[in-house]
Amino acid sequence: MKRQKPKKPPATITDKFVLICLVILNLISLLLTYFVHQRLVAPDEDEGHNPTITLQSLQTKSLHPQRSGENSNSRVPYISDEQFHQTYSRYHGRLPQKFKQPHPKFCDLPDYFDFFRLPKSQRSRLFEDKIIYDTFFKPDVQSLKQHKTPQHGTYLELGAFDGKEESNTMFFDTCLGWDGLLIEAQTESYEKVIQNRPGAVKLSFSPTCLDNTITASLYNIPLSNNGMKDLAQSYTGKETVEVPCGPLTPVLIDVFGLNQTISFFSLDVEGAELLVLNTIDFSKVDIHVIMIEVQNSYCPNPMSCAQTHLIRKRMAEANYSLFAELVEASDVFTKHGTEAWRSGNSVQEENAKRQWILKRRKILKEKNEARGVVRRRLQPPHGGFSFRRRFSSWSSSSLQWHKGIACANPANRK
């Protein structure tokens, strides 16, 4: 006799209601996901334009740029002017007004020897930070005697890498308590900037375009000498990534304010420096000191590169003075008439006088050493032959001999 399977109890009205609710919730979630995806990522083919993307989505890493090969024509959403200003201001906020306290371990006034002894993994590579501080921002002797701290300033670093290694602004942030903006276009490096520089305003895009509806091709290499396609010669043929691109002036106005002072600007983007400068309206931003890298893989010999002369021409037209050979591999410019310009000229004059004195002392020392060598050559060793001694002895003996002859001659006797 076969066993009969037990019959399932009939579904109640409550069970049916719960099932219907679950189905409806799943449909709603799918629709929301679809619309969000269409708004943030998917290009609108019907309308024929790129959708917008918020900087908040970039910062929270909800969207990663699409990777591409060497000949890829892929696009990523761009940032419109309105949304750029609104989203950027809302998410990052403006610079804090509260003065940051210097690091107690490394920041000892007035020379900061402990900090400048740190390796390049924690500060600039070629002592750029120390040279810039000593030349343009270090208080004078009278202020140091009165124990005055350096004036509070602001900084901008373009090509920030990870915000720490080979950073030209780490000193100004850590020891002087300055506020500033860090820009790094490479995604992996930018994530490290967020970790290493919590007190700075940060942004990831390429300020090399006058039109913000296009993107820039960047080598996808998380190293300090990474750069734009066809400019960073070390990575020719490597994988590239498309990043948002736009002018720098709107960003500076949004962060620092219109015609507000930026004390120090460090520009190191591996051959794209002139492209960045062409997006800056110097009538709307007030930058006092600008350090621009001119020697890199794109331009191994700066004086033979046309870009070096074009950069100097661009800065001269903007009323900036060149401090040549102040920093290795970089040109330093100061805005004419500013306090930094006066301080730099004063330091340069003192350095020129000091160099002249040292050079003069070296010449005198070499002359004295040369005279000493001549004297030592004329002086024989102890007990040796002396031409002067022999000559004097010969002269005295000859004189005595002549005197003897004269006395022996009867004609000479009285």
* Helices 249-256 and 81-92: angle between axes, nearest 10 degrees: 40
Q: Is the peptide bond before 65 cis (omega within 30 degrees of 0)?
A: no
For the segment 56-65, what is each residue's pLDDT rounded down to a tens digit? 333 333 223 3
- Counting DSSP H helices and E strands in the chain, the numbers are 13, 10
The answer to whether the beta carbons of residues 112 and 106 sit under 8 Å apart is yes
For the segment 335-381, what is each residue's pLDDT rounded down to a tens digit? 999 999 999 888 888 878 878 888 888 888 888 877 776 666 555 55
Q: Which helix (H) or strand (E) holds 291?
A: strand 286-293
Dump the DSSP string for 143-204. HHHTTPPPPP-EEEEES-TTSSTT-SSHHHHHTS--EEEEE--SHHHHHHHHHH-TTSEEE-
What is the pLDDT confidence band of residue 81, given thresholds at 50, 70 and 90?
low
Provide the b/e sequence for 77-89 (b: ≥16 CB within 10 Å): bbbbeeebeebbe
| Structure confidence at residue 94 (pLDDT) | 41
SS3 state at 397 = helix
* pLDDT above 90 for 188: no
| Structure confidence at residue 8 (pLDDT) | 56
Query: How far is it, in rounded angstroms, from Cα 157 to Cα 174?
Result: 14
Q: Tokens 């870009």 label which residue?
A: 307
What is the pLDDT confidence band of residue 215, given thresholds at 50, 70 and 90?
confident
The answer to whether the beta carbons of residues 202 and 194 sit under 8 Å apart is yes
What is the pLDDT confidence band of residue 305, given thresholds at 50, 70 and 90?
confident
| Structure confidence at residue 77 (pLDDT) | 33
For the segment 83-120, what is each residue's pLDDT rounded down to a tens digit? 454 444 433 334 444 446 666 566 777 788 888 888 88
Tell me the pLDDT of the chain averaged across its residues.
Answer: 73
Q: Is the pTM of this model over 0.75?
A: no
Which strands sit side by side in the sheet containing 67-68, from one edge to the other?
67-68, 240-244, 215-219
Which strands sit side by side in the sheet containing 261-267, from one edge to the other?
201-203, 179-183, 154-158, 261-267, 286-293, 330-335, 320-327
What's phi and psi for 177, nearest 5 deg?
Answer: 70, 25
What's phi and psi for 160, nearest 5 deg?
Answer: -75, -15
For the segment 137-174, what is each residue's pLDDT rounded down to a tens digit? 988 766 666 666 677 899 999 988 888 999 999 999 99
Return the beta strands (E) in 336-395 as ranges.
none
C-alpha pair distances (Å), 24 with each of 17, 27, 34, 38: 11, 5, 15, 21
